[in-house]
Structure 1
Amino acid sequence: MHKLLQVKEEAEFLRAELDRYSHLWQSDRKAVFQEFLTYSKQLGPEDLELEKTPPTLRDFQREIQVLHTLSSEVTYLDDVIILHGWLQVDLRPFTASLLSVILDWKHMYTDFLLESASKSLQQEIQPVGDDDEMSSSFPLMETILLLEAAGVELPEHLAAQLKC
């Protein structure tokens, strides 16, 4: 019975270590992203009355970098862990699922930037009289460079328009 309790303790310790990633699958991605678009960060309990501050490209870069760092950490998790010398825990399914969730988060940010770049390019090709829409987009070349640095391949139509 003593060995079983020791294994349970080790298993609980492992779960606690892996819980540091739980916000990735427990948080409502759309709500978190909306907070980011409104306040340029995810709100915490201490952020009760915060001024609206739309994100900059640097804010997007920060979030993408955090996700890249998490992805790297998860990639280096052990495939199999032996608890108390006899209980084998296979982390490969967990790791694969977590990497997929991290990729979903990353796509949320990069898809927004791709859409912004596409709109900016359209506005350069066919200028619109609405100045408000122009001010809401990011500088095109900086956005493209950020996307490329994040490993995002530009869609063919966007790449073709950039070459013109």
Structure 2
Amino acid sequence: MNNPITRIKEKLTILKDSDPQRTIFGSSKHQYKLNTCLPIEQVRQFEATHNIQLPEEFITFYTTIGNSGAGPFYGLEPFENMLFSDLDYKREDNLLNPSAPFLHTQPWNMEFVSTVSQRENEVLYEKGREAFYDKYYANEQKHWSEKEAAAFVNWVSAILATIQRHPEMCRPSHKG
């Protein structure tokens, strides 16, 4: 039973059974249910249209487990939403380009470091700060809101609590 697909399905069942009142953030929306799987042809067409190759694990998830549903926060997004840069305001004129090179291929923490103190020259300080944020957000660096971060922490906490109650989930097989 080392199949990751089987393990994901089993863990989802355990999470669902462990939260019958749907108290974990977002679970009342997704109900621990997954949407209907995608046909592989739809995924391959998306890849061809955008001249990309999606990771096989991603494809396997969406074609054999489900096209979104249960997951952290309000659940995983449907495949058809993956191009929207803002999921709260889905607009066709503001789509991501999946064929663009991925900018973050190594660890980095971009931070604003001013060449002048704010007290010394507030105008120059603000210009430098604006230039930094223009570059920072032009690189599509995304940050979670406090609400999103809290939801993720709650989701991970729930998973960890479930794992503590069911330590066999941490092993490829309950037989060791």
Q: TM-score range by the shorter chain?
A: under 0.3
Looking at both structures, which has the greater relative contact order when contacts are Cα pairs under 8 Å and sequence separation is at least 6?
2
TM-score for the superposition, normalised by structure 2 = 0.24
- Higher strand proportion, which one? 1
- Higher helix proportion, which one? 1
TM-score for the superposition, normalised by structure 1 = 0.25
